[in-house]
Amino acid sequence: MPSTIDPLSDAIFTPEGEAPPGPSVDALCAMVDAEVERRTQAGFACHGHHFQSRPKDQDNIRDAYARASRAAAAGAQIGDIFWYGDGKPFGWIAEDNTLVAMDAQAVIEMGDTMGTRKKDLIFAGTELKARIRAGAVIANVADDALWPA
């Protein structure tokens, strides 16, 4: 006997010995989108450190990236940590609160690394959703094996 849905409560009744139905395709795809966002905000590794990437961190990194790009285009040299223009050495705070001194080129690399990580997660999520829509059974969309390292 198949599972039935109580129209008053939306409760699913499954005959004894049968597994209840899993989430719908749309629900699984929404779970994939949430996992992309969670992983995007979980930070990224660059320059031997782990950097935060919550939405406000992403905004700050994009701002620093833009300024570093302008400084590099204006001639900021590799190794010059005073490129920011305020007379102080530039550094970025890693997740462990370590201040990481960075020249403009290192900031550009950090921004590129963050952007590439986000792109890779979005494309992995898109591929996973396509597999789900094609009928693949995915037990756990948060399984690390489904996502880029």
Amino acid at the residue 23? P
- Domain assignment present for 124: yes
Enclosing domain of residue 68: 27-141
Torsion of CA 40, 46, 52, 56, to 10 degrees: -80
Mean pLDDT of 95-101: 98
Which residues, other chains included, contact 54 with Cβ-Cβ below 8 Å and sequence gap of 6+?
41
Q: Which secondary structure element, helix H or strand E, spans residue 132, and what is its range?
A: helix 104-133
**pLDDT at residue number 63:** 98
Report the predicted TM-score, pTM, of the whole model to 2 decimal places.
0.82
Domain count, the chain: 1
Q: Give the model's pLDDT for residue 22.
A: 80
Encode pLDDT of 21-73 as tens digits. Answer: 688 999 999 999 999 999 999 999 999 999 999 999 999 999 999 999 999 99
Question: What local confidence, expressed as pLDDT, does residue 84 receive?
Answer: 96
Does residue 106 carry a pLDDT above 90?
yes
- Domain presence at residue 91: yes
- Residues 20 and 132: their CA atoms lie apart, in Å, by 18
The answer to the question of residue 11 being in a domain is no
